[in-house]
Amino acid sequence: EPEVTQTPSHQVTQMGQEVILRCVPISNHLYFYWYRQILGQKVEFLVSFYNNEISEKSEIFDDQFSVERPDGSNFTLKIRSTKLEDSAMYFCASSEEGQGHGYTFGSGTRLTVV
């Protein structure tokens, strides 16, 4: 069964450092997403991406965040200057169309900011 792949599984970084979280969405999917889940809390939407541009973003997705599809397979989330409160699980997801069908999540990257 096709899956969304995320690397690394765990990233530890110093406060103020930049991190890049990587994702390989399902190959025939056209919509890509990042979500995060702070420990013990619910999953929160960050951003959606379609046709090489951001289609929607949440209030959480401020100027320190950016996304990119650098080639035909990868989808990245960059956090420019990490803060302690950025510590969370970050999930990448993809869907084949915009109505939600086939919305599939990766296993996540656990980001720990120290």
Chain residues binding other proteins by CB under 8 A are 4, 6, 31, 33, 35, 41-45, 48, 50, 55-56, 58, 91, 95, 98-101, 103-108
Considering beta carbons, is residue 60 or 74 the nearer one to other proteins?
60
Considering beta carbons, is residue 17 or 41 the nearer one to other proteins?
41
Considering beta carbons, is residue 13 or 44 the nearer one to other proteins?
44
Kind plus residue range of the DSSP H or E element containing 112? strand 109-113
CB of 81 to other proteins, least distance (A): 25
The answer to whether 102 and 2 are in contact (CB under 8 A) is: no
Single out the residue of 110, 25, 113, 28 nearest to residue 70, CA to CA.
25
CA dihedral angle for residue 10, residue 12, residue 15, residue 17, rounded to 10 degrees? -80
The answer to whether 67 and 77 are in contact (CB under 8 A) is: yes
CB of 4 to other proteins, least distance (A): 8
Considering beta carbons, is residue 4 or 19 the nearer one to other proteins?
4
CB of 27 to other proteins, least distance (A): 17
The answer to whether 33 and 43 are in contact (CB under 8 A) is: no
